[in-house]
Amino acid sequence: STNANFANYSALNLQETDRSDIDYLNIVLSKFEFNGLPNPSGIPSQFSLQLESIEGVRNPKPQIVLVTSAACERNARIETKEQRNAEIPIVKLNPNGILNWKYKGEDALRQSGLAYSIVRPCGLTTLNETTDFLLDLKQGDSISGAISRKEVASIVSTALSTSISTGKTYEVRRAEAKDAIGVKGTSRQTLSNQLQSLVKDNQRYTVGLPVLPAAVDPPAELTDEEKQAVLNDPRVVAQRKREPNSQRVAGRDDDGVSISDETLSPNVAAQQQQQRQEQQQQQKQRRSAVEW
């Protein structure tokens, strides 16, 4: 209207307007006009407003970031004992059905209606914790490898801070290429770029990934002989040799790639050697305290 003292409340028809262009909407029922003058239509009466839905944020950040583990999806796809016997050690062992329960937790979250992001770390390691690595973020649960708890914390923190992680389930490990060593892969910008390249769970088919399988109950527990056979697997033996104090069962398709001192730069190698010596000294002190 050309009248500066009059507001045309019927000027905006929400059913015909492109709602994506609306940033915000205020609805006020008042006996006064916007200029403070009495509202000629401000007659006290009953008022009701019916809304189909309210979306406060178009692209919400995750309400919850769930940390499970790699191999829980590939475990859920197994239908026969032959398939399980052909799998990597951690899937063969599946102690107490842990991979099934983790996947059931994922499934419950995906069905909850909450905005989520699900992080599946590969095997947790204490090796080379002061060395920077690029991280691999993948989908489809087909990778194995290692990652430190500090690196997992970095991806969780980044996932919580951005909407591009919402609705996605993904595995994460240290990249193992030599040129990935010494590169700070845990920066928020680097991880955000990698999260951006992933697809939402309900869009996996668009990039050739299989749809997520249904959650199933754990299989029967292995016998003691079967468990020992898994623990005698060369991949598990190699893992225990690399990390004698770790209880982790190898989840690799090979016997693992160990980052040696020769691979690292002299400064980094010296730091790693010092760290190992300090850890050994701490372990001796703890043993002495227990014996005392």
**Taking 50 as the threshold, does the pLDDT of residue 259 lie above it?**
no
pLDDT tens by residue, 42-78: 777 776 777 676 665 678 899 999 999 999 999 999 9
Give the model confidence (pLDDT) of 149-160 as tens digits.
Answer: 999 999 999 999
Determine the pLDDT at residue 118: 98
pLDDT interval class at 274 (50, 70, 90) = low
Report the C-alpha gap between 216 and 218 in whole angstroms.
Answer: 7
Between 1 and 146, residue with greater pLDDT: 146
Mean pLDDT over the full length of the chain? 82
pLDDT at 272: 55
CA neighbor of 123 nearest in space, from 142, 151, 147: 147
Phi/psi at 188 (nearest 5 deg)?
-60, -40
- Residue pLDDT, tens place only, 186-217: 999 999 999 999 999 999 999 999 999 999 99
Compute the residue count for the chain: 292
Q: What CA–CA distances, in Å, run from 16 to 9, 58, 181?
A: 15, 20, 56
Pull the structure tokens for residue 102: 């983790």
Question: Among 31-35, 95-99, 209-213, which is the least confidently predicted range?
Answer: 31-35
Token pair, residue 225, equals 């002989």
Confidence band, pLDDT 50/70/90 cuts, at residue 262: very low
Q: How confident is the model at residue 271 (pLDDT cuts 50, 70, 90)?
A: low
